[in-house]
Amino acid sequence: MERKNAVKGVLWLLTGMALVLAVSRFSRGLGATTNLSDSQPWGFWISFDVISGVALAAGGFVMAAIVYIFRIEKFKGFVRAAVLTAFLGYIAVAIGLAFDLGLPWNIWHPMIYWQYRSVLFEVAMCVMLYLTVLGLEFAPVALEHKLARYRILQTIYRVLKTLTIPLVILGIMLSTLHQSSLGSLFVIMPYRVHPLWYSPGLMLPIQFFVSAVALGFMMVILEHYISAWIYKHKPRTDLLASLSIPAAGFILLYGAFRVGDLMSRGILPGAIDGSWQSWLFIFELLVSVGVPVLIVALPKLRKSGSGLFTAALFTVLGMILYRINISLVTMARWPGTSYFPSMVEIMVSVGIIAGLALVFMYFVENLQVFEETMKQGEPRELETAEEVLARTEEGRRPPRGVVTGTVSRFMERWFLNWEPFQKPKFFATTRTWFGNPLHDGIRRYSMLLVVAVAVTAAILPENAIFGFKYEPTPVAPARVQISDQGEMLLIDGNRNGEFVLMNHDTHKERNGGMDGCVNCHHMNFPDSQATACAACHADMFLPSSAFDHDRHQRHHDGNKGCILCHPKDKNPDNAKSCAACHQEMFPGVAETERVNFMASSYQDAMHGLCETCHQEQAVERNQPELGLCSQCHPALE
Amino acid sequence: MKSILTDVTKCIGCNLCVTACVEENGLGEHVPDWRRMNDGLGSNRWCSVLSVKGGRYVRKQCRHCLEAACVSACIVGALKKTPEGPVVYDPKLCMGCRYCMMACPYGIPRYNWEDVIHYIRKCTFCYDNRIEKGLEPACTEACPVEATIYGEREALLEEARRRIKDHPDRYINHIWGEREVGGTNVLYLSDVPLTMLGWAPKLSEQPPPELTWGVLKKVPFKFVGMGVLMGSIYWITGRRRQVALDEADRRIQQAKDNQAAGEPADDEKEQS
């Protein structure tokens, strides 16, 4: 299999997974699909997709500035790819945001309902405008395609070409604003952001902007190496090495701002005090500043492809880490709560990137995105059968090395030679291909998509399928204790092993002696002297069914027994009443009409029994302490 | 400005304010869940009574700040400060971005995570159903011991100062909400420190919106400045290129002239 097709296959798989998760998120809501909470309202989607995503798309304005404003034209070959990456990156941001918003159909509201005192408003407006500018910057590339040969489109093409410089300058202005304003978002949270990351005033926006510029350079390098690997181009390490020098400059500037800011506010000792935040801070600076600057500073490493790739990768990871740290990891949370993104959150983020990577590959293969490597207008010569076969053989030669060789031979033998994946055969005499239709790209990728959809649907967590459900909080059955005060009932009110005392004798007295038993013991199960409240009130907070359908079904030999209770239709409304079989359970109660009634929750039942009387008595006897929770919950004292 | 003064020393923790709030606003069932902070507040509990150390009960609710962080953070103006004081929410404008939840120094706005369509929920000071009709909020009306009372902010501050003056041994000499984050409309008197109400034990007196505005007011200068900078660099690089091209043209022309005159070109002259 060709490398780019393998990559596309993986991307289709990931996209398919995200499609299922999208259905789940929009039909079941955020509570059912994410791990977000009142304590952590902004999660992975905001930190990674939006705040990091915008910065990862900074390559567009950085490269445009270098080539069109500073007129360093040897880098012209990188501009189109950088602008396309930026354009798709901002679309990814918009899609990620739509997943995260509670009311995504109101995403256009900032355009109408202005609230210019909100930083987020400024970010939203700039991102929307800049997305338009990027679209206009990239449109000429699309209009060069032979399908766009209509006169009107060509007129637009010429207009856009003449507008290049104003568009580039406008793009840089908008980028400066929103790249820095993403940092200003956190200025309003001085109590939530950790002091090692928080800084009042203009420091946060400056750090965000400078790191975004550095990230822009390094993203161009990283993206060039990745597409060179996929399309088997020779990477232009010579050019990229000279691009990495200003990048390192900006990284150093960023590092200086980070450390200098801490020093000027006198909290630099906090960075080495051994708390986990200080280790994280050091690790982050090492990844984002230390390693890349070191590599770029050494000419030998800088001029080698792998060295430069490593530097770019570390910068990108480090700057993403910075953004995730400030917006997620070090953010203050309510004590006892924690956050880790759910499978849905991670897979959706990955899927959005995968889907847009497919769009990127489509553009690269159909438009002139890499100006230097693809020549326009040259008709592709027809290959002879021998050439095709030679090329195919070349592509199929197993890689060397023990592990990769074994794996690829295994794949070759058991997987690729499996009929749907077999290569079609070329018949030179008729110049036609014969073979399994599954080899056709669309069919192969749609099959992968279907597989992805099926697999994801199968492994979805329960909540993501059936909607939000509270986790049941079980209670322990009541215990009876005989003490010198009489019979005391111990009730685990807080379901933490701390029992509430209930004087059984006084309750019996107050309920009218032996006649009042049924008030509490309304269901006398066989051999049960004092049915635990939890037998019916099965959850601390949720109402629950007192009727155990499964148990009855098992007792009556499974489906054979249905008819014993359901003479006609099988629904709860026409089922036999409990008392029809269990008279002994309802002393003094003639008939219980329905079996599907919901017993009130444990807390409601208990509080309903005690609280009303307690509060009445508190007023009547003028003893307010009777109404206090601590009257029955001594732990609250 | 309408305000609420809660005297922690008087509260008996009976939760009648919570019950009244639930009935007044039709809030329904509340199931504690890990998605909610364990302070009793949630999308359908807009006030709660915390049991704190020292045997005291503290009522937690929205503080209706004078300069509210949530109002300044809201991207579409769905959260508004009304002239009477309450901070109210318009679900029709909201897009559910949760920036208000992040911005609030007290962690008050909550989200109905359990539903499919998500809105911000928080105490409205009973603005729509009571304040506009000239009534007092349900919670203060329900309080059996007048631990939480309703009135004009200035009058309540006077009352609070009077209580501290009359019983200096009974209270900590501080009115919570008088100055923190620029002042709030919900004030507290207490004999135990109320550090548990905010995200930090001590909140500064500077309103959070001021922090943001200090950055935001520089935005137009940033915008224009970057434009001017890029425009001038473009002009300078263009000019330098033009000069270089002119110079090259001039040399070529000179070389041609020299050749025409039968003299060796500049380069050859230098070599010789």
Which residue of B lies nearest to A332 if distances are taken between CA atoms?
A: B199
CB contact burial A419-449 (16+ within 10 A = b; e otherwise): eeeeeeebeeeeeeeeebeeeeeeebbeebb
Where a domain ends, among B216, B237, B253?
A: B216
pTM: 0.82
> What is residue B266's predicted lDDT score, i.e. its pLDDT?
55
**CB B50 within 8 Å of CB B196:** yes
Query: What CATH number is associated with residue B119?
Result: 3.30.70.20
* Residues of chain B contacting A120 with CB distance shorter than 8 Å: 73, 75, 97, 99
Residues written for chain A? 637
Residue B41 covered by a domain: yes
Q: Do B132 and B229 fall within a single domain? A: no
CA-wise closest residue to B97 among A55, A185, A18: A185
- Chain A nearest C-alpha distance from B269 (Å): 33
> What is residue A418's predicted lDDT score, i.e. its pLDDT?
55
Which residue of A lies nearest to B96 if distances are taken between CA atoms?
A: A102
pLDDT at A47 over 80: yes
> What is residue B270's predicted lDDT score, i.e. its pLDDT?
54
Distance CA(B93)–CA(A112), nearest Å, equals 10
Beta bridge pairs of residue B152: B2
Q: Is A300 helix (H, G, I), strand (E, B) or coil?
A: helix
Q: Do B202 and B226 fall within a single domain? A: no
Distance CA(A279)–CA(A596), nearest Å, equals 57
**CB A629 within 8 Å of CB A636:** yes
- Chain B nearest C-alpha distance from A192 (Å): 7
Residue B154 covered by a domain: yes
Contacts within 8 Å (CB) and 24+ apart, A146-153: none
Interface of B with A in 133-192 (CB under 8 A): 145
Interface of A with B in 422-441 (CB under 8 A): none
Q: Do B15 and B121 fall within a single domain? A: yes
Q: Do B143 and B166 fall within a single domain? A: yes
Instruction: Give Rg (Cα) of chain A.
Output: 34
Among B92, B119, B216, B242, pick the best mutation site for testing chain A contact (most A Cβ within 10 A): B216
CA-wise closest residue to A523 among A596, A453, A586: A586
Mean pLDDT of chain A: 81
The reply to whether B69 touches chain A by the CB within 8 Å rule is yes
> What is residue A41's predicted lDDT score, i.e. its pLDDT?
92
pLDDT at A471 over 60: yes
pLDDT at A290 over 50: yes
Residues written for chain B? 272
- The residue range of the domain holding B247 is 221-262
> What is residue A544's predicted lDDT score, i.e. its pLDDT?
78
> What is residue A18's predicted lDDT score, i.e. its pLDDT?
92
> What is residue A380's predicted lDDT score, i.e. its pLDDT?
44
* Residues of chain B contacting A69 with CB distance shorter than 8 Å: 230, 233-234, 237
Q: Do B143 and B250 fall within a single domain? A: no
Distance CA(A12)–CA(A443), nearest Å, equals 12
Q: What is the pLDDT of residues B76-104, one digit of tens each?
A: 999 999 998 899 999 999 999 999 999 99
> What is residue A237's predicted lDDT score, i.e. its pLDDT?
84
Kindly report the three-state secondary structure assignment for every residue of B107-128.
CCCEECCCCCCCCEECCCCCCC
Distances (CA, A) of A185 to A42, A181, A619: 12, 6, 51
Number of other CB atoms surrounding residue A550 within 10 Å:
7
Residues of chain B with pLDDT under 70: 263-272
Distance CA(A285)–CA(A259), nearest Å, equals 9
Q: Do B50 and B66 fall within a single domain? A: yes
Q: Which residues contact B121 (CB under 8 A, 6 or more apart)?
A: B42, B43, B44, B46, B89, B109, B110, B111, B112
Distance CA(A593)–CA(A601), nearest Å, equals 21
Count of domains observed in chain B: 2
Segment A378-388 shows an average pLDDT of 52
Among B22, B70, B102, B111, pick the best mutation site for testing chain A contact (most A Cβ within 10 A): B102
Identify residue B254 by its one-letter amino acid code. Q
> What is residue A528's predicted lDDT score, i.e. its pLDDT?
54
Q: Do B112 and B151 fall within a single domain? A: yes
Residue B227 covered by a domain: yes
- In chain A, % of residues over pLDDT 90: 33
Number of other CB atoms surrounding residue A548 within 10 Å:
12
Identify residue A27 by its one-letter amino acid code. S
Beta bridge pairs of residue B2: B152
pLDDT at A264 over 50: yes
Residue B269 covered by a domain: no
* Residues of chain A contacting B38 with CB distance shorter than 8 Å: 334, 336
Residue B81 covered by a domain: yes
Q: Is A39 helix (H, G, I), strand (E, B) or coil?
A: coil
CB contact under 8 A, A29 and B38: no
CB contact burial A231-240 (16+ within 10 A = b; e otherwise): beeebbbeeb
| Least confident residue range of A76-90, A136-150, A185-199, A428-442 | A428-442
Minimum-distance CB partner of B93 among A109, A170, A336:
A109
Q: Do B54 and B79 fall within a single domain? A: yes
> What is residue A376's predicted lDDT score, i.e. its pLDDT?
38
Q: Do B122 and B73 fall within a single domain? A: yes
Beta bridge pairs of residue A425: A434
Distance CA(A58)–CA(A312), nearest Å, equals 14
Q: Do B136 and B247 fall within a single domain? A: no
Q: Which residues contact A276 (CB under 8 A, 6 or more apart)?
A: none
Confidence of residue A270 (pLDDT cuts 50, 70, 90): confident
Chain centroid offset of residue A500 CA: 42
ipTM: 0.89
DSSP B55-103: TEEEEE----BTT-HHHHH-SSS-EEE-TTS-EEE-TTT-----HHHHH
> Kindly report the CA angle at A345 between B45 and A215, in degrees rounded to 5?
115
Distance CA(A520)–CA(A533), nearest Å, equals 8
Where a domain ends, among B216, B231, B248?
A: B216
- Chain A nearest C-alpha distance from B83 (Å): 18
DSSP A116: T
Q: Do B119 and B225 fall within a single domain? A: no
**pLDDT higher at A407 or A293:** A293
The reply to whether A169 touches chain B by the CB within 8 Å rule is yes
* Residues of chain B contacting A205 with CB distance shorter than 8 Å: 215
- Chain B nearest C-alpha distance from A453 (Å): 22
| Least confident residue range of A401-415, A444-458, A541-555 | A401-415
Residue B139 covered by a domain: yes
| Least confident residue range of A212-221, A340-349, A431-440, B168-177 | A431-440
Q: Which residues contact A500 (CB under 8 A, 6 or more apart)?
A: A490, A491, A492, A493, A606, A632, A633
CA-wise closest residue to A198 among A207, A37, B202: A207
Among B75, B108, B235, B236, pick the best mutation site for testing chain A contact (most A Cβ within 10 A): B75
Segment A627-632 shows an average pLDDT of 76
Minimum-distance CB partner of A41 among B74, B102, B203:
B102
> What is residue B78's predicted lDDT score, i.e. its pLDDT?
92
Which residue of A lies nearest to B92 if distances are taken between CA atoms?
A: A106
Confidence of residue A592 (pLDDT cuts 50, 70, 90): very low
Distance CA(A262)–CA(A445), nearest Å, equals 51
The H or E element spanning position B228 is helix B219-260
> What is residue A487's predicted lDDT score, i.e. its pLDDT?
73
Which residue's entry shows tokens 């967590």?
A: A461
Residue B267 covered by a domain: no
Confidence of residue A377 (pLDDT cuts 50, 70, 90): very low
The reply to whether B12 touches chain A by the CB within 8 Å rule is yes
Q: Do B137 and B249 fall within a single domain? A: no
CB contact under 8 A, B231 and A181: no
Where a domain ends, among B185, B201, B216?
A: B216
Residue B204 covered by a domain: yes
Evaluate the CA torsion angle A294, A297, A300, A301 in order and state its sign: positive
Distance CA(A168)–CA(B226), nearest Å, equals 12
DSSP A302-352: HTSHHHHHHHHHHHHHHHHHHHHIIIIISS---TT------HHHHHHHHHH
Beta bridge pairs of residue B57: B51
> What is residue A441's predicted lDDT score, i.e. its pLDDT?
65
Chain centroid offset of residue A520 CA: 48
The reply to whether A627 touches chain B by the CB within 8 Å rule is yes
Number of other CB atoms surrounding residue A511 within 10 Å:
15
Tokens representing A513?
Answer: 């002696």
pLDDT at A374 over 50: no
Query: For the purposes of burial, counting CB atoms within 10 Å of the CB of A575, is it exposed (0-12), middle (13-18) or buried (19 or more)?
Result: buried
Distance CA(B43)–CA(B65), nearest Å, equals 20
CA-wise closest residue to A78 among A63, A93, A90: A63
